């Protein structure tokens, strides 16, 4: 609880690792977790942490290349002065960026671009900025590389990269569509009228090199899966290409590249995994083992997803997925993917549900925009069940049609 509270509150501006790393040392020193279990957890999380570092660097270098500036220009031009069109464009862009460059890119890099775009157009920011928060979670269902939780589930599922995407694709589409309907209804008043500046004539300059590198990195993910390699290697290759180019052109420095990897946050992820493993070893696994369904029927998948969503909002989605995956994996890939639906969609209910939402709130406050807890929660109460239930049904249909 201390580790999670520090991650949520960040007292005195301390990084998330400030409590997590000492806590991991405490559970090791007191024997709450055997050294071999801690080593197993580190070996499990090592490739995940490596991938996270590479994709954070990749996203930051794409931003330096002008990719997200181009996204803002595209948003302004596509909206044609209509807030509803702007919301549609924001949904599309946030969904693609989240799926391809991970939810961190949507929260850290796209959210400020959306703020700048709506300010320039004179639109009301709330629907579009909230869309970045919700889609950083919901739209991260598609690929194993879209979310840290996905990488963990991908490793536990035994599926190939393409098989994972095939099974999760229908749920991804259905979940985003459900979110869109909820947003159109919930923010109907904010989406009326037209904006001040339609920005019809602004050209969109695409950073071709960055786009080609991202496309090659995606192809690398598929190839790495076929060869039995970790996706971190493909992410590292993409980041290396952009880093070398930026360094040679003098657009960045080695220190800036290292900072983009957010090493304190990586230490937090690793330490949190060890602390959660200690909690699992000391009784939580037995408790949850009695309530986790062990079949792939639709009611069972709904129950698993609901439990995962609840647990994500109680203890954050990263600990929740670490706790539930070993239990779900015993019944095959279907329950593992149901857990993923719960821990990715469920965090839209509360601020503490995912680290991405916490980071989004911090960025929103930096732009002098208030996020009301009541409004955020009301939106979540409507959107989470409206999104999660049809997404689980879509997953169940995918498992029935494509098998595992």
pLDDT at 164 over 90: yes
In 3D, which of 62, 68, 143, 54 has the Cα closest to residue 98? Answer: 143
Residues 365-380, mean pLDDT to the nearest whole number: 81
Residues 20-43, mean pLDDT to the nearest whole number: 91
Tens of pLDDT, residues 45-56: 888 888 888 888
In 3D, which of 293, 371, 390 has the Cα closest to residue 334? Answer: 293
Q: Are the C-beta atoms of 57 and 257 separated by less than 8 Å?
A: yes
Tens of pLDDT, residues 321-358: 888 988 898 888 999 999 999 999 999 998 778 878 87
CB-count exposure of residue 404 (10 Å: 0-12, 13-18, 19+): middle
The beta strand positions in 23-131, using DSSP E, are none
Tens of pLDDT, residues 135-152: 999 999 999 888 889 988
Tens of pLDDT, residues 62-92: 888 888 888 888 888 888 878 899 999 999 9
pLDDT in the model for residue 198: 60
Average pLDDT over all residues of the chain = 87
pLDDT in the model for residue 71: 85
pLDDT in the model for residue 203: 64
pLDDT at 202 over 70: no
Rounded to whole angstroms, the maximal C-alpha distance in the chain is: 65
């Amino acid at each position: 609880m201390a580790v999670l509270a520090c991650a949520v509150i960040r007292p005195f501006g301390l990084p998330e690792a400030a409590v997590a790393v000492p806590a991991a040392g405490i559970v090791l020193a007191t024997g709450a977790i055997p050294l071999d279990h801690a080593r197993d957890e580190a070996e499990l999380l090592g490739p995940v942490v490596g991938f996270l570092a590479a994709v954070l660097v990749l996203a930051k270098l794409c931003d330096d290349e002008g990719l997200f500036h181009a996204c803002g220009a595209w948003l302004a031009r596509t909206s044609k002065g209509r807030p509803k069109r702007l919301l549609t464009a924001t949904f599309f862009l946030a969904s693609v960026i989240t799926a391809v460059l991970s939810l961190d890119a949507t929260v850290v890099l796209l959210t400020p671009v959306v703020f700048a775009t709506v300010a320039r157009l004179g639109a009301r920011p709330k629907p579009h900025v909230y869309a970045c928060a919700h889609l950083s979670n919901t739209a991260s269902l598609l690929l194993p590389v879209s979310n840290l939780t996905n990488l963990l589930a991908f490793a536990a599922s035994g599926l190939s990269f393409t098989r994972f995407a095939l099974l999760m694709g229908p749920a991804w589409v259905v979940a985003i569509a459900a979110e869109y309907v909820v947003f159109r209804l919930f923010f109907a008043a904010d989406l009326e009228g037209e904006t001040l500046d339609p920005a019809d004539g602004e050209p969109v300059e695409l950073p071709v090199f960055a786009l080609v590198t991202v496309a090659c990195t995606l192809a690398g993910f598929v190839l790495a899966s076929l060869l039995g390699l970790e996706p971190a290697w493909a992410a590292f290759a993409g980041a290396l290409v952009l880093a070398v180019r930026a360094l040679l052109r003098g657009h960045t420095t080695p220190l800036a590249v290292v900072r983009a990897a957010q090493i304190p946050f990586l230490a937090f992820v690793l330490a949190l995994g060890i602390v959660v493993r200690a909690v699992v070893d000391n009784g939580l696994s037995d408790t949850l083992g009695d309530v986790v369904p062990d079949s792939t029927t639709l009611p069972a998948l709904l129950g698993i997803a609901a439990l995962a969503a609840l647990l994500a909002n109680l203890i954050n989605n990263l600990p929740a997925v670490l706790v539930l995956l070993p239990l779900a994996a015993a019944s095959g890939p279907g329950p593992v993917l149901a857990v993923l639906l719960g821990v990715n969609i469920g965090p839209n209910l509360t601020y503490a549900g995912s680290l991405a939402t916490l980071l989004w709130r911090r960025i929103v406050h930096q732009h002098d925009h208030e996020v009301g807890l009541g409004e955020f929660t009301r939106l979540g109460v409507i959107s989470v069940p409206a999104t999660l239930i049809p997404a689980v049904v879509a997953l169940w249909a995918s498992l029935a049609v494509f098998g595992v």
